[in-house]
Structure 1
Amino acid sequence: MDTHFTKRGFLPVHDPATRFRRFPQLSSLDELGGSLPERLEQDDFRDQIRRTIIPRWPEDELRQSSLDELRLYYVRLGFLASAYINQVSQPRVHLLPSVLAVPLCHVCRILQRPPILSYDGYALYNWRRLDRRGPIALGNLETIQNFVKLEDEHWFILVHVEIEAIAAEILAAINRAEPALHGHDGDTADECLRDIADALEKQTKVLRRIPERMRPQLYHRTFRPYIRFFEQVSYEGVADQPMNFRGETGAQSSIMPALEAFMKLQHRQTILTEHLADLRRFMPIEHQALLGEIQAMPSPRACTSPEKFNAVLEAMAAFREVHYGWADSYVHQRTDDPRGTGGTPYMKWLKQLIDETRAAKQPSSRSWVDVITGGHGLSGASS
């Protein structure tokens, strides 16, 4: 496993670029992105965009030296495309004009990803630290790009960023566990599982903070519509046939898929698990490769204690329960549409994942004697 995963989780190796320093000819996108919330309040936003000259990304291949600004270019274009299709004050449209479609598809081809704003562009590449020496944590973070002026959207994004930063502890533990599993070193593997469960508990505490600065009524009607999936959208100048793409969703995060791959957690094959597999297409290619590496590791089930193994599964289920609760109060209670921003029947899907995660627990290692005597053995029972 590359060391940057164990230090940064699924966040980029370097803090995201906030402006185009290497390619100053793209600086108009910084201005356009910064004014996007105000522009979206105007009825002629779409007319403005069609008249705008969007500079093309100046390279045709992926180069590590310009990767940070390439991702920023994708963020700017991804936000503009979703804003154009889903402008809240106007009827939804199904044609992305060539001024956006052509450069967006170009950058997404280089990044080897579908041409729509996904979780990586909305969260993983969309933050900066107020104090560069401080932690990647709430209170020291700000977003780079937003759809609306409201603090609620900033908070929503940045909660996810801190959760992703904590994932470095999970990946570091998985990395330490691999040689222990190959060598059947149960004690070391147990320590790694304990660290994973502890990190998951930290992530759950951060996820519980969502209501501190995000109001359900505003989330549902002000910025959630902008991260909705594209349904039968034509990309002018790129493709003749309308296309469908999943919108931004936390299900595109690589954290839970990494844990499921490590724990060898199998879900019942349904249309929901087909959706789950399809969502991987929207993850960065390096994340997809890491998931394959983790899947190839030995299972921890055989050489770890049931208690430590089950603690990880319970921590995963607890995190998902909090997510389920927010999905219910922020979305489900406010709409009749059973589909989430990724296009999936999210409530049914989330419940299935919670139930099947707990169902994968191992039987306790305690004997029937321990159960009836409280762990004191037969001598304790007769005293």
Structure 2
Amino acid sequence: MDDHLRTAFRRRGFLPAEDPDSRLTLGERFEIIDQIGNDLPSLLLEPEFRSYMRAQVLPEWPHPNIPPKLLSQAHLYYLRLGFIASGYINQIGQPVTHSLPANIARPLCQIAELLERPPMLSYDGYALYNWKRFDPDRGIELGNIDTVQNFVHLYDEHWFILIHVEIEALAARMMDAMMTLDDSAGVDDHDAVDNSLLQISAALDNVLQVLRRIPEKMSDELYFSRFRPYIGQFRDVTYESMGQVVNFRGETGAQSSMMPMLVEFMKIPHQPNRLISHLNDMRHYMPKAHVEWLDVVHAMPDVRPVATPETFNRVLEQMAEFREVHYHWAIKYIARRCNDQHGTGGTPYLKWLKYLIDETRQHQVQG
């Protein structure tokens, strides 16, 4: 992994190295994509939305590759198209459709291939690249950030996304701790290991504080009925003119790299089963650089034999608490409102979250 990327991870966590673009500047013909993106919450309220979209001419990415100076533009272009595609397939109040028109499918597949990712709105497009700061001199934190793109005219959706953005920003401190330990070859140094774990623990304290804030500005009824449907799976969807029928998992926080990174660092031995296969499949939806970092962390030596048990166990307990809060919100926002106990990624989330909680605590040092 190159030094530039490591530096970016230490500064920004899994968020992009520079603040995302909020407007396409690729030329006048690309203005229609920004316009549709900005109007999408209103357009999705109209029964004629799909007919309207079929009539639009959406320009394809203008380069055979992604020039480095246009990387942020490429992510915004993918983000807008991903939202449009998910809005088209999952439009609330309209008949189910299994066909994505060529004028959306073709440019989406093209940019997705260049970004080395599936042509579907995933966590990176929904959250990691979907924010802007009000004051660039202040932190990436609630109160100073807003979304670039939404499905609905509800601040509840903004809040849902922005909670994830601040959590991802906080992950930078964990990554810095891991890199400091790795760079110093200090995995055999008791004090160095404990210092790393203490830094990770402090960051997790802040992450838990942010995660617990979800109900402040997000209604469970509005989440379930008004915008959760838009981040659902693509089941047997034909991408017109692309010669393919696709099945993609919906956007889900399981596509975040933060918890997988902690699992790799703490060497938690989750038992092989359908859950772990599912979590491994989530890596196909993560940015390539994030998966490379997970591989780096996986290769790091085990700190468990060197760490102070209380310090090591504290991090594990915070990870279990994170999953317990997630479990609680899953009940509040989803389970109480439907019989289908599957998340947007298509998993039996309550059962599997319980497995993860139990196995995390079982890894604690005893005695």
Which of 1, 4, 22 matches 2:8? 4
2:187 and 2:278 mapped to 1: Cα distance? 36
SS in 2 for 1:57: coil
Residue type matched to 1:347 in 2?
L
3-state SS, counterpart of residue 35 of structure 1 = helix
Equivalent residue number for residue 271 of structure 1:
274
Kindly indicate whether the alpha-carbon contact (under 8 Å) linking 1:181 and 1:189 is maintained by their aligned counterparts in 2: no
Which range is displaced more, 355-364 or 46-55?
A: 355-364
TM-score (norm 2): 0.97
* Structure 2 unaligned spans of 5+: none
TM-score normalised by L of structure 1 = 0.93
Query: Cα gap change, 1:52/1:262 in structure 2, threshold over 3 Å: closer, same or farther?
Result: same
CA distance in 1, matches of 2:194, 2:49: 56
Partner of 1:317: 320
Q: Which has the larger radius of gyration?
A: 1
Letter in 2 for 1:285: K
Q: Give the SS at the match of 1:91.
A: coil
Q: Is the 8 A contact 2:187 2:306 kept in 1?
A: no
Deviations for 1:294-318, whole angstroms, at most 9, x for unmatched residues?
1111111121111111111111111
Summarize the alignment of residues 220-235 of structure 1 with structure 2, pairs less than 5 Å apart: 220-235=224-239
Cα-Cα RMSD:
1.1
> Which residue of structure 2 lines up, in the alignment, with residue 63 of structure 1?
67
- Code of the residue aligned with 1:345 in structure 2: it is P
Deviation at 1:156, TM superposition (A): 0.3
Structure-to-structure mapping, 1:1-383, within 5 angstroms: 2-179=6-183, 182=186, 184-240=188-244, 242-364=245-367
What is the identity, as a one-letter code, of the residue corresponding to 2:75?
Answer: R
SS in 1 for 2:15: coil
Per-residue Cα deviation, 1:169-215 (whole angstroms, up to 9, x for no partner): 11011111224555511111101101101111100100000000000
Please give the alpha-carbon distance, in whole angstroms, between the structure 1 residues aligned to 2:256 and 2:67: 24
- CA-to-partner distance for each residue in 1:77-104, whole Å, 9 max, x for gaps? 0000000000011122111111111111
Q: Do the aligned partners of 1:181 and 1:298 also contact (CA within 8 Å) in 2?
A: no
**CA displacement, residues 198-236 of structure 1 (integer Å, 9 cap, x when unaligned):** 111100100000000000000000000000011111111
Distance 1:223 1:262, change over 3 A: same
CA deviation vs aligned residue, 1:237-292 (integer Å, no higher than 9, x gap): 1124x211011000000000111111111211111111010000000001011111
Structure-1 separation of matches of 2:153 and 2:205: 31
Take 2:148 and 2:318, find their aligned partners in 1: how far apart are those partners? 31
Q: Deviation per CA, 1:1-26, whole angstroms, max 9, x where unpaired?
A: 61110110000000000011244431
Aligned partner of 2:59: which letter?
P
Look up the equivalent residue of 2:306 and give its one-letter code: C
Counterpart of 2:61 in structure 1: which amino acid?
W
1:77 touches 1:100 (CA, 8 Å); kept in 2?
Answer: yes
Distance in 1 (CA, whole Å) between partners of 2:183 and 2:365 is 22
Tell me, in whole angstroms, the C-alpha distance in 2 between the residues paired with 1:159 and 1:301.
Answer: 31
Q: Secondary structure at the match of 1:196?
A: helix
TM-aligned CA distance change 1:183 to 1:233, over 3 Å: closer
In 1, are the aligned partners of 2:181 and 2:187 still within 8 Å (CA)?
no
The structure-2 alpha-carbon separation of the partners of 1:314 and 1:183, relative to structure 1 and needing over 3 Å to count, comes to closer
Amino acid of the structure 2 residue aligned with 1:15: D
Preserved contact between residue 186 and residue 192 of structure 2 (Cα < 8 Å): no
Distance 2:64 2:320 in 1: 43
* Higher mean displacement: 17-26 or 184-193: 17-26
Report if the CA contact (8 A) 1:180-1:186 is conserved: no
Q: Using the TM superposition, give the Cα deviation of residue 74 of structure 1 relative to its aligned residue in structure 2, in angstroms.
A: 0.4
User: Are the aligned partners of 1:36 and 1:147 in contact in 2 as well (CA < 8 Å)?
Assistant: yes
Q: Residue 237 of structure 2 aligns to a residue in which SS?
A: strand
CA distance in 2: counterparts of 1:137 and 1:257, whole angstroms: 22
Asked if the contact 2:186–2:193 (Cα under 8 Å) also holds between the matched residues in 1, the reply is: no
